[in-house]
Structure 1
Amino acid sequence: MSMMESAAASTVAETFARDGFVCPITVMSAGEASDYRRQLEAAEAEYGADKTFRKMLRRYPNLVLPFIDEITRRPEITDVVAKILGPDLLVLDAPFFIKEASTKSFVSWHQDLHYWGLETEEEVTAWVALSPATAESGCMRFVAGSQNRRVDHRDTYAEDNLLTRGQELAVEVDESEATDAALQPGQMSIHHGRVFHASHPNRTGDRRIGLAIRYIPARARQTEGGNMAAMLVRGEDRYGNFRACRPPTGLMTEADIAHWTEIAGARNKVMLGGKAG
């Protein structure tokens, strides 16, 4: 690593520690992002009528879609995350957050780690844009420094909320304190699992497509009774604190769908108290 690259990595780590998020970070070309979007939309065209497939896009799509597994392993992404979490990285999940054009879908103010069943606060979400994520299309919004707070949440199950439980902070957030994390295709933001974040509806004529990759260090532990799985994507796992996921063998293969069903069911018991979601 050159001195310039080392300084840049240090700046990212310092900004992350201070603000709880960093953006934008370019991790692939616009052409590569466009190709990944093409693969997603081809899969949607073939399997999108299946209710289970639509759930797969929101929970462990990296188990059934090879191009998602590929994105989670890209060194342009994992090298940045490793500067914060260390060299041995697991992916806890990699859900899509898709807002269709001119729709009411939104994400309420929340903290990710409130629901994830982890003992550790060490977590980085890499939110990778496959389409423009702007203020108009409902990009992510963060409140700098809020990762240092612990706030109760309430479940709303609001119809247009993209979160599984419609969870939201049990405190009011001053919107004037928030920063828009605008991204172009091929760019990402990274954020801490405790930082306040939300997003508004998409008011544009194009879909807003983002992949939220949840990275944790291999040393991370689950809360008591946890039975979640995670995918090793960088380095090695010397701890075995999570059941190991396996990479997909192809596009929506029967064996991978069975693997997804087992893994997602265990996660639901943590996230939803055993409810389907």
Structure 2
Amino acid sequence: MKDFKIIPTDDELETLQRDLSFHPAGVADPKTLTRQQIDHFNERGFIAPLDIFSSDEISEIRNYFDDLLRKVTAGGGDSYSISSAHLKYGPVYDILKDPRIVDPVADLFGENVIGWGSHFFCKMPGDGKSVAWHQDASYWPLSPSKAVTVWLAIDDADQENACMKFIAGSHTKGHMTYRPSDSTEHNVLNQTIDDPEQYGELVYDPLKAGQASIHADLLLHGSDANDSNRRRCGLTLRYCSAEVHAALGWNEKGVQVRGTDPKGHWSNQPRPE
């Protein structure tokens, strides 16, 4: 299995010709989302909350993650290092393809949908790490900008334990200038966009375990450090329209989760054992 870099270098990304502008989403006859939800996505950049898994189902997923985290940390990893998980773990592959998650994504992109990313962001109690304001598209060698993140809450997430926060409407402002994060920021990632509220309204994204939100790849978002005594784990699932081109070998991550891949660009990896 190829080991993909989570974050390409700036030099690698700068050599690419990427269309980093927002393309309004939505199909003529949505099956899961309402027209109001699609309009909200186009205007505000996100949809939340969506009820996905029952309490029993998310409890089973949480137990699976707890066991996986123990194995990963025993091998030298940490609570943020479980990435491209659908290429390694069958249960995560199954979540990526679950119709209850894919259906609303297909209402945004149409019937040809690729699932290409899966990464656990698990903030342990008092771990002191934040996710600075950033745009997902800034990190991804994808074009055009027709991609979303589904953030599935494994644990309850609220302001106390550092749920996500958005700058509503910022996805319409294009690709923003960022600076390298300073080490004193204790940023899980490596980019920081300053003065975020110049781009729109600050909105928090509290979710109950089993709920999810969807946000556009250009939406400015982040999360504070978890200073509470409760864990906050989420599984980020990344999807795009099949028309999107992935450079730097990232097409090898892609799985057809709905419809077809007319250009045969994405590798459509099988379910791992």
With structure 2 as the length reference, what TM-score do the two structures score? Answer: 0.81
Pick from 65, 70, 76 the counterpart of residue 100 of structure 2. Answer: 76
**Is residue 227 of structure 1 aligned with residue 249 of structure 2?**
yes
Q: Give the aligned partner of residue 173 of structure 1.
A: 196
User: 1:222 deviation in Å?
Assistant: 2.8
> In 1, distance between residues paired with 2:88 and 2:79?
12
State the identity %.
28
Pick from 151, 162, 166 the counterpart of residue 188 of structure 2. Answer: 162
Counterpart mapping for 1:205-220 below 5 A: 205-220=229-244
8 Å contact from structure 1 (residues 113, 193) kept in 2:
yes
Gap runs ≥5 in structure 1: 250-277
Cα deviation 1:66-91 (Å, max 9, x = unaligned)? 11111111111110010001112111
Change (3 A) 1:86 1:202: same
SS at the partner of 1:142? strand
Pick from 33, 38, 47 the counterpart of residue 63 of structure 2. Answer: 38
Q: Aligned residues, how many?
A: 239
Paired amino acid for 1:248 = P
Q: Give the aligned partner of residue 185 of structure 1.
A: 209
> In 1, distance between residues paired with 2:220 and 2:72?
34
Change (3 A) 1:201 1:47: closer
Counterpart mapping for 1:27-176 below 5 A: 27-51=52-76, 57=82, 59-149=83-173, 150-156=175-181, 158=183, 160-163=186-189, 166-169=190-193, 171-174=194-197
> In 1, distance between residues paired with 2:268 and 2:32?
34
Question: Does 43-52 or 8-17 show the bigger shift?
Answer: 43-52
Pick from 36, 41, 53 the counterpart of residue 16 of structure 1. Answer: 41
> In 2, distance between residues paired with 1:209 and 1:70?
18
8 Å contact from structure 1 (residues 9, 80) kept in 2:
no
Change (3 A) 1:34 1:43: same
User: 1:53 deviation in Å?
Assistant: 8.1
> In 2, distance between residues paired with 1:7 and 1:90?
18
SS at the partner of 2:214? strand
Paired amino acid for 1:15 = H
> In 2, distance between residues paired with 1:70 and 1:11?
29
Change (3 A) 1:55 1:8: closer
Q: CA RMSD in A?
A: 2.1
Cα deviation 1:173-216 (Å, max 9, x = unaligned)? 23993100000000001000001101011122221010111101
Change (3 A) 1:74 1:22: same
User: 1:235 deviation in Å?
Assistant: 1.9
Cα deviation 1:12-55 (Å, max 9, x = unaligned)? 21111110011111111122111101001112223422136867
> In 2, distance between residues paired with 1:56 and 1:19?
30
Gap runs ≥5 in structure 2: 1-29
Quick check: which one's helix share is greater? 1
> In 2, distance between residues paired with 1:76 and 1:241?
25
